[in-house]
Structure 1
Amino acid sequence: MENFPVVDMGKLNTEERKATMEMIKDACENWGFFECVNHGISIELMDKVEKLTKEHYKKCMEQRFKEMVASKGLECVQSEINDLDWESTFFLRHLPSSNISEIPDLDEDYRKTMKEFAEKLEKLAEELLDLLCENLGLEKGYLKKVFYGSKGPNFGTKVSNYPPCPKPDLIKGLRAHTDAGGIILLFQDDKVSGLQLLKDDQWIDVPPMPHSIVINLGDQLEVITNGKYKSVMHRVIAQTDGARMSIASFYNPGNDAVISPASTLLKEDETSEIYPKFIFDDYMKLYMGLKFQAKEPRFEAMMKAMSSVEVGPVVTI
């Protein structure tokens, strides 16, 4: 298996820009994932996020997780569990409005640090979307404009911890799925592995690297690119040793954003439109019940649902 793609974003401002853009293009077309280094987010900030996240889990969430495991008898299971994940999580919403001040148990330093981290990730997400536009031959800002809707994009963070699991062969850390949204930016533990993606019918480890941000593409980018880029099935394998931290931030379309294949790409490829046109919130309602199933039936269902419905134009920002 060829090496997992690692993109040094510092090279985008050097004579190696062309080769770096080609690496991003290949990763989007053939992997659906790549790992960013020299992405502009300081090591000091990332170290602080990791320290405070692990402290918060120990202080506020570990005991709750142990009680949940005990109540469900998960340490003694004898057959595969297919209806839950071995993870402890909470969610932060950043855009269109923040809920960080409303999350219980977060101390003030952690709130401030996660707010600063989210601002840096939002900027990185938009920079990456423009790099994708450049590779696709779309005008700069096209993807951000499509995602905007009437109130701006949805942007939020899922903070997860995956404690040691006594039966990793029977319980997944997180079951296999594709992500519903746009572009996902993951700050993962650099010591405890577990994230895998499906490539050429094989599960491939996404390597833990210090201070990297793992990027993966969601279903919406597959639709907008008319299948040129693909969202990819991925999962988290629970480990018997070590607790794994995962901070995944999702830069998604606004609820009322209209998603459809980019007309420019249809003309260039001289191909028919093989993906549906829909409102993002309608897709999310469908996705919530079918997250751990194949994405293709979701696209087909949206194609049927929207065939008789007119949706409005993309909002210009």
Structure 2
Amino acid sequence: MEKVKAEIQEFFNLPMEEKRKFWQQPGQIEGFGQAFVVSEEQKLDWGDLFFMVTLPPHLRKPHLFPKLPLPFRDTLEVYAVELKNLAMAILGFMAKALKMEAKDMKALFEEGFQAMRMNYYPPCPQPDQVIGLTPHSDSVGLTILLQVNEMEGLQVRKNGIWIPIKALPDAFVVNIGDVLEIVTNGNYRSIEHRAVVNSVKERLSIATFYNPKIEGDVGPAPSLVTPHSPALFKNVSVADYLKGLFSRELHGKSYLDVLKIDSEAESN
């Protein structure tokens, strides 16, 4: 963990001309730049990020992960595998807690894809006038967040109130994503969160997203749908789910709402 933290810090300390080698290409979300830029009119977040798919290897963009400087590339290679194993263990425990068919969770996530987003939030002279990362829920299965330094900034929304999350050394923060809310038919709820900035010191973190396999479908697990607990969400292919996701700005849990069966019925 300490190697990952140190080398992420070193990456963001590189001269801008070096980081520009990983710049987001037009129409792409992977690379160094900003999150979910879908129009020239939208308000951008106060921070930089480096987002890329890390697993499986054949989904990596050739100009990103393979071009990372050493030893950073090797460190992330090991970290990616360890985080995949951690995510699968957590998903297994969650399935067991719901008395869900283990094969349902395993079939969806075992060959899933993983992405990482490294975040850099610089100090801001007027922190109350900007946002580090727009309020949203993660449209993935699980998010595993590692604080690179111990500056606080992550907040979660509970009962309409934003609650700061204390940065604990050598600890992960695990967020349930929209996909897991769908798969568990609402038994586990995704969490709306945001990042705020301060005027004193930079904040850095790395979020690892674990997702279902691209060739699969997303919908409530059959073992969790009964006459007394009908499906709350539509079934969609993972490919269509991602296509819809990446065409939208970050905004609360609005994308999850699109997939709710009751919202579709109410609109007819």
Of residues 203, 225, 240, the one that matches 1:282 is: 240
The answer for unaligned runs of 5 or more in structure 2 is 21-40
Residues paired across the two proteins, number: 242
2:152 equivalent in structure 1? 193
Given the alignment of the two structures, is residue 103 of structure 1 paired with residue 31 of structure 2, yes or no? no
Give the C-alpha shift of residue 144 in structure 1.
2.8
Amino acid at match of 1:186: L
Of residues 28, 47, 65, the one that matches 2:2 is: 47
Change (3 A) 1:62 1:170: farther
Of residues 259, 265, 275, the one that matches 2:218 is: 259
1:88 equivalent in structure 2? 48
Amino acid at match of 1:157: M
**How many angstroms apart in 2 are the aligned matches of 1:62 and 1:166?**
25
**How many angstroms apart in 2 are the aligned matches of 1:147 and 1:171?**
36
Give the C-alpha shift of residue 238 in structure 1.
1.2
Of residues 78, 88, 91, the one that matches 1:116 is: 78
1:57-97 CA-partner distances (Å, limit 9, x unpaired): 111449979xxxxxxxxxxxxxxx96211111112322222
Amino acid at match of 2:13: K
**How many angstroms apart in 2 are the aligned matches of 1:107 and 1:241?**
30
Give the C-alpha shift of residue 51 in structure 1.
0.9
Amino acid at match of 1:292: L
1:248 equivalent in structure 2? 207
**How many angstroms apart in 1 are the aligned matches of 2:84 and 2:19?**
31
2:139 equivalent in structure 1? 180
- TM-score, normalised to structure 1's length? 0.69
**How many angstroms apart in 1 are the aligned matches of 2:10 and 2:72?**
10
**How many angstroms apart in 1 are the aligned matches of 2:2 and 2:156?**
26
Q: Percentage identity across aligned positions?
A: 31
SS of match in other structure, 2:251: coil
Give the C-alpha shift of residue 106 in structure 1.
3.0
Given that 2:233 and 2:259 are in contact with CA atoms closer than 8 Å, whether structure 1 keeps it comes out as: no
Query: Which sits farther off after the overlay, 88-97 or 115-124?
Result: 88-97
1:137-159 CA-partner distances (Å, limit 9, x unpaired): 123353131235xxx21111111
SS of match in other structure, 2:57: coil
Given that 2:232 and 2:261 are in contact with CA atoms closer than 8 Å, whether structure 1 keeps it comes out as: no
Give the C-alpha shift of residue 209 in structure 1.
0.5
The answer for unaligned runs of 5 or more in structure 1 is 1-45, 66-80, 308-317
**How many angstroms apart in 2 are the aligned matches of 1:227 and 1:277?**
14
1:235-276 CA-partner distances (Å, limit 9, x unpaired): 000111111111001110122311111122222x82221111
- TM-score, normalised to structure 2's length? 0.81
Q: How large is the Cα RMSD of the aligned pairs?
A: 2.7
**How many angstroms apart in 2 are the aligned matches of 1:245 and 1:161?**
5
Given that 1:174 and 1:235 are in contact with CA atoms closer than 8 Å, whether structure 2 keeps it comes out as: yes
Given that 1:90 and 1:158 are in contact with CA atoms closer than 8 Å, whether structure 2 keeps it comes out as: yes
Amino acid at match of 1:187: L
In terms of fraction of residues, the more helix-rich structure is: 1
1:162-183 CA-partner distances (Å, limit 9, x unpaired): 1111222121110001111111
1:199-250 CA-partner distances (Å, limit 9, x unpaired): 1111011110001111001111111111111111100001111111110011
Give the C-alpha shift of residue 286 in structure 1.
1.7
